[in-house]
């Protein structure tokens, strides 16, 4: 701990974010550093979770984006087929990013692409049998991994956190 931090001023279970807030309060007492407690932790948790989630995808030679496309097609229900626009809307990425992911998945035999019957320029992307088998296996591992990562919270705490994160998502300013 840096010399200029008074350890007695920090909570007993202080972490790196508490230290950052304490340093800002000391250096710029005119600013409210309180939001760093939440935003800093959410950011650090995002990085830590992303790393641990991607380990499951990487074991199957998938990136997060490819997993997202396969999972979106799988949860869409039979015939496990969506337009590129529908995929883009569900994955919240650009059309170029969807195309790149679909290209890679098609080469791997996990999806197929065909022209839409009602739109000559439109394409339908369908999960292949091989893709469905893979995503069913990966999503099981992914859900087990997520449950393992959240095991430090009780069911009530997980429920409360879910509610708070949902509320935060709804109340963030749209810019």
Per-residue model confidence (pLDDT) at position 116: 76
Among 34-38, 85-89, 119-123, the range with the most confident prediction by mean pLDDT is: 34-38
pLDDT band of 1, cuts 50, 70, 90: very low
Q: What is the pTM of this model?
A: 0.83
pLDDT band of 21, cuts 50, 70, 90: very high
Tell me what percent of the residues of the chain surpass a pLDDT of 70.
Answer: 92
Q: Averaged over 142-158, what is the pLDDT?
A: 97
Q: Averaged over 78-83, what is the pLDDT?
A: 94
Go through 114-136 and write b for each residue having 16 or more CB atoms within 10 A of its CB, e for each that does not. Answer: eeeeeeeeebbbbbbeebbebbe
Angle, CA 55 vertex, CA 155 and CA 144 arms, to 5°: 30
Query: What's the chain's Rg over C-alpha atoms?
Result: 22
C-beta neighbour count of 9 within 10 angstroms: 11
pLDDT in tens, 34-71: 999 999 999 999 999 999 999 999 999 999 999 999 99
In whole numbers, what is the pLDDT of the chain averaged over residues? 90
What gap in Å lies between CA 40 and CA 14, rounded to an integer? 13
């Amino acid at each position: 701990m840096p010399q200029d931090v008074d350890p007695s001023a920090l909570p007993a279970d202080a972490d790196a974010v508490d230290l950052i807030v304490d340093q800002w309060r000391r250096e710029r007492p005119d600013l409210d550093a309180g939001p760093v407690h939440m935003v800093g932790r959410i950011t650090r948790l995002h990085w830590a979770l992303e790393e641990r989630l991607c380990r499951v995808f990487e074991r199957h030679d998938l990136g997060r984006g490819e997993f997202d496309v396969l999972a979106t097609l799988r949860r869409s229900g039979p015939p496990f087929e969506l337009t590129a626009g529908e995929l883009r809307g569900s994955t919240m990425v650009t059309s170029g990013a969807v195309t790149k992911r679909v290209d890679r998945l098609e080469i791997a035999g996990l999806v197929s692409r065909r022209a839409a019957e009602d739109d000559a320029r439109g394409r339908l992307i369908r999960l292949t049998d091989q893709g469905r088998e893979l995503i069913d296996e990966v999503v099981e591992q992914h859900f087990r991994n997520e449950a393992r990562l959240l095991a430090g919270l009780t069911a009530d705490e997980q429920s409360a956190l879910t509610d708070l994160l949902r509320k935060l998502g709804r109340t963030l300013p749209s810019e």
